Structure 1
Amino acid sequence: MDEIQRWYDEKYDEWERLERHKIEFDITTRYLDEYLSGENLEIFDIGGGPGRYSIYLAEKGHKVSLLDLSKRNIEVAKEKSEERGISLEAYIHGNALELEKYEQKYDVILLMGPLYHLIKESDRKTAVENALRLLKPNGIIVASFISNYAPIQDYLKELYPIESVDELLGYLKDGKNEGDKGFTTAYFTDYKEARDLMNSFGLTEIIFAGVENILGSKEREINMLEECEYRKWLEIGYQLSQDENLMGTSEHFLYIGRK
């Protein structure tokens, strides 16, 4: 956990990442708009980084509390909230595996970061269990995963030099990324494994989506299009996002379920 915290505190700008990856943000927020119904919802964003989604939902009038492992991310969330003239209910430096002091009061839980930094299956299960304990009956949980095809997609987008084909394909076998491989400690998952994990808790699945799908490898070019053309491709991506035939083309998976 210390290594992951240092990565986000000292090396990586998560706020800027979603500026670059507009497709991921725009398709994800479309799903949030569609399935988080109601006004003034109590939302707990667990592992929400610098609060891109927290702030988005707070601007819609919801009561959002943000928790993240990185102190720097929490500081950025405060700065960005102030810039937008809003305030989150709480800015918490904390750990998704240590939520004992929080109570069941939330209409929505976002778990859109922790599950792809937990190498051990037992820890991933604990993170989900902790989140569900805080979720009201009939509440909504939103969880994100990084696909085990994501490293390949990343290399393909930029056509990075490949030092080892076997190493790149190795993520399809165990999904583990050690902290010395260009990214912090992470776990990349098969979509069936991700889906089975969430449904093992007796949730009612609402959607399971491959967020970027076929748009991912042309992300840079799509981002540079005129707004009307960009929106057309975004619509295509959204409509294809639940096509199981295309799940491996996505870098991120999104699960929405009801308790």
Structure 2
Amino acid sequence: MNEIQAWYDNAYDEWERLQRHKIEFDITKRYLDDFIKGDNLEIFDIGGGPGRYAMYLAERGHKVTLLDLSSKNIEVAKRKSFEKGIALEGYIHGNALELEEFQHHFDVILLMGPLYHLTEEADRRKAVEGALKLLKPDGIIIASFISVYAPLQDSLLNLYPIESVQGLLGYLQDGENKDGKGFTTAYFINPKEAKEFMKSYGLKELIFAGIENILGCKEKEINLLNESEYRKWIEIGYHLSTDENLIGTSQHFLYIGRKEIL
């Protein structure tokens, strides 16, 4: 956890990441619009970085509380929300594995960062279980995963020099990224494993999507298109995102499920 916190506090600008990866941001927002229905909902964004999604949802009239492991991300969220004239309900420097202190229950919980920074399954389960305890019956949980194919796709997109073919293919075996290998400590997952993992909690799956799918390999070029052409490709990517034949071509998976009323 110290490695991950240091990465976001010192080495990485998470706010700008979604400016570079507009496809991921815009298609994910489309899904938030599709499944977060209702007015003035109470939303807990756990591991939400500097709050880009939190602010997006707050702009739509929801009461959003942000929690993140990085103190820098929390400070950025405070500054950016002030600049936008947005007030989040809370800006909490905290850990997705330490949610016991929270008693309030939420209509929607976002878990769109922690699961791909927890290399041990026991920790991933603890994060989900802690989040579900804070989710109201019939509430929505939204979780993100990084694909086990993402390092390959990123290397292809940028044509980075390949130091070791077997090293690059090695992610397909255990999915673990060590701190210092282009990214901080992380766990990459295949689509089947991600779906089965969330299914084990008895949730009703509403959607499982491969966010970038075939658009990812042309991300740089698509970002430079005029707005009209860019939006056409976003529409195509959105419609392809649930095609099971293409889900593995994405760098990020998005799961949306409902907590059943017992």
Bucket of the pairwise TM-score, normalised by the shorter protein = over 0.9
In percent, how many aligned pairs have the same letter?
Answer: 73
Give the secondary structure class of the aligned counterpart of 1:245: coil
Q: What CA distance in whole angstroms lies between the structure 1 residues aligned with 2:23 and 2:180?
A: 28
Q: CA deviation at 1:182?
A: 1.4
Aligned to 1:217: 217
Aligned to 2:22: 22
Give the secondary structure class of the aligned counterpart of 2:170: helix
Q: Is the 8 A contact 1:104 1:136 kept in 2?
A: no
TM-score by length of 1: 0.99
TM-score by length of 2: 0.98
Letter in 1 for 2:160: Y
Alignment of 1:111-190 (within 5 A): 111-190=111-190
Q: Is the 8 A contact 1:104 1:133 kept in 2?
A: no
Q: What CA distance in whole angstroms lies between the structure 2 residues aligned with 1:80 and 1:191?
A: 34
Give the secondary structure class of the aligned counterpart of 2:61: coil
Letter in 2 for 1:227: E
Q: CA deviation at 1:180?
A: 2.1
Residue deviations 1:149-178, cap 9 Å, x none? 000010011111101010111111100001
> How many equivalent residue pairs?
259
- 1:206 aligned to 2:210? no
Q: What CA distance in whole angstroms lies between the structure 2 residues aligned with 1:26 and 1:57?
A: 13
Q: What CA distance in whole angstroms lies between the structure 2 residues aligned with 1:245 and 1:25?
A: 22
Q: What CA distance in whole angstroms lies between the structure 1 residues aligned with 2:233 and 2:29?
A: 16
Q: Is the 8 A contact 1:210 1:242 kept in 2?
A: yes
Residue deviations 1:220-257, cap 9 Å, x none? 00000011111111111000000111111100000000
Letter in 2 for 1:69: L
Aligned to 2:82: 82
Q: What CA distance in whole angstroms lies between the structure 2 residues aligned with 1:58 and 1:32?
A: 12
Alignment of 1:81-120 (within 5 A): 81-120=81-120
Give the secondary structure class of the aligned counterpart of 1:244: coil
- Give unmatched runs, 5+ long, in structure 1: none
Aligned to 1:49: 49
- Aligned residues: CA RMSD: 0.5
Greater than 2 Å deviation, 4+ residue runs: none
- Give unmatched runs, 5+ long, in structure 2: none
Q: CA deviation at 1:104?
A: 4.3
